[in-house]
Amino acid sequence: MTSPAPAARHPHAPRGRDIHEAGRTATPLELLFDLTFVVGVALAAAQLHHAEGAHHVLAALPGFLLAFFAIWWAWM
């Protein structure tokens, strides 16, 4: 009976990107991630704009602020 092969190991642990790296560009995944937050803020702003047109700004403002800061907190 043979023993199972050892699990493959990465030669080095993954590390974050250096912000001072020359020619650093955003990856497509980073851009998609940012775009989802832009869409979230745009939807919250559209709902606030709709409430403004119906003269219900004071009722909609707390919801907008809550959504905006929740999205912003998740993005940071």
Per-residue pLDDT tens over the stretch 26-74: 889 999 999 999 999 999 999 999 999 999 989 999 999 999 999 999 9
Residues 61 and 48: beta-carbon distance below 8 Å: yes
Per-residue pLDDT tens over the stretch 4-20: 666 666 677 767 777 77
Burial of 47 (0-12, 13-18, 19+ CB in 10 A): middle
